[in-house]
């Protein structure tokens, strides 16, 4: 399954609004991204990630491909592990981003690559023409160049790279079903990894992090600063073309819909806010505080594929109790964070 950073409801809104405002390039790019949400065309069959051989060394094994503005994957290899910078910003940002994700999981959680077994990391850049998205397809990261009017190239945001590769971590651990609340958790956990990777790379603690997903992705014409805000869902943008950020921040605002696989990109705002509240209340670096608890819950083996918000909340509270003690301040911070967004841990 393709997990894209820009949700279909936003692309639909952009396409419709851009047509009304006679922004032909923007409308065409959004429509193309919507159509491209279906089949991924491959030049050759590649094995599933689970069958890839572990890396022979402890460091990352990165390969960056260039799709040369086609939608054929994987593209032409242009930079391999250890090779010098290409001078192409998309290639070099993808290479550095994959390295930052690899370093984060290794240093924070002693996890060797996405599958925990040294999986080689692959990314394709320059996918499609004016392609307004980036996605994880189960085997690799894929980046569009954006339309230049609304979106810049998708390699500019480290949180986007961390988010999409985070889907790979979930794929190899809890493998949460991509619909309804379990799908919203799938998206939220990727947002968690996205901000953690970015904060880790910047040396930020929970108090100084931006808590934004896709910061820097919009051009200057957009009235907004990111695709999503974890600390304040529903405030990331308010723009004539994009509309207003529709993410809820509390279960009282939970959106029941058949679109977006049951609102996976929408309702993820609720557990996103819970995480940011827990991380800032615990203090210090987010990856050693709340991040460690969320990671333990995800990798515990106790989560069902159809896990709902309450069950995941319970798993994080349990993990916090194991880590800091049943009556600890940190465990209570996790409990309070979930209650603040309207979720009662079991």
Give the residue numbers marked as catalytic: 164, 265
Burial zone of 253 (CB within 10 Å; 0-12 exposed, 13-18 middle, 19+ buried): middle
Instruction: State the distance between the two ends of the chain, measured CA to CA, in whole angstroms.
Output: 31
Cβ distance 337 to 278 under 8 Å? Answer: yes
CA distance 14 to 150: 9
Cβ distance 207 to 276 under 8 Å? Answer: no
Cβ distance 207 to 223 under 8 Å? Answer: no
CA distance 80 to 117: 20
Tell me the sheet residues that pair with 77.
Answer: 65
Q: Which residue has the tokens 């290639």?
A: 91
Q: Which residue has the tokens 């996976």?
A: 264
Cβ distance 168 to 116 under 8 Å? Answer: no
CA distance 276 to 199: 12
List phi, psi (to 5°) of 245.
Answer: -50, 120
CA distance 84 to 6: 31
- What the block records as the tokens of 237 is 């943008």
- How large is the C-alpha radius of gyration of the chain? 19
| b (16+ CB within 10 A) / e for 35-58 | ebeeebeeeeeeeebeebeebeee
Classify strands 41-42 and 72-73 as parallel, antiparallel or unpaired. parallel
């Amino acid at each position: 399954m393709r997990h894209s950073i820009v949700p279909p409801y936003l692309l639909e809104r952009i396409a419709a609004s851009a047509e009304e405002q006679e922004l032909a390039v923007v409308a065409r790019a959004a429509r193309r991204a919507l159509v491209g949400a279906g089949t991924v065309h491959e030049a050759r069959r590649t094995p599933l990630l689970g069958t890839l051989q572990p890396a022979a060394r402890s460091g990352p094994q990165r390969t960056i491909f260039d799709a040369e503005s086609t939608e054929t994957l994987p593209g032409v290899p242009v930079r391999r592990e250890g090779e010098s910078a290409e001078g192409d910003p998309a290639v070099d940002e993808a290479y550095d981003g994959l390295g930052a994700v690899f370093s984060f999981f290794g240093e924070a959680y002693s996890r060797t690559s996405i599958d925990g077994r040294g999986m080689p990391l692959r990314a394709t850049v320059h996918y499609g023409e004016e392609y307004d998205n980036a996605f994880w397809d189960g085997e690799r990261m894929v980046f569009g160049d954006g339309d230049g009017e609304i979106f810049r190239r998708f390699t500019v945001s480290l949180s986007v790279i961390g988010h999409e590769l985070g889907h790979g971590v979930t794929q190899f651990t809890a493998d949460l079903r991509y619909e309804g609340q379990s799908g919203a958790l799938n998206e939220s956990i990727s947002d968690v990894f996205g901000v953690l990777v970015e904060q880790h790379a910047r040396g930020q603690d929970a108090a100084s992090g931006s808590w934004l997903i896709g910061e820097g992705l919009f051009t200057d014409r957009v009235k907004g600063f990111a695709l999503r805000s974890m600390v304040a869902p529903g405030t990331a943008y308010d723009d004539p073309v994009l509309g207003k950020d529709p993410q809820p921040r509390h279960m009282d605002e939970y959106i029941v819909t058949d679109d977006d696989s049951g609102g996976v990109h929408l309702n993820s705002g609720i557990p996103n806010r819970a995480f940011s509240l827990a991380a800032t209340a615990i203090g210090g670096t987010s990856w050693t505080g709340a991040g460690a608890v969320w990671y333990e819950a995800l990798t515990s083996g106790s989560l069902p594929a159809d896990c709902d918000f309450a069950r995941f909340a319970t798993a994080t509270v349990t993990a916090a109790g194991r880590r800091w003690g049943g009556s600890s301040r940190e465990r209570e911070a996790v409990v309070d964070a979930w209650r603040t967004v309207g979720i009662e841990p079991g």
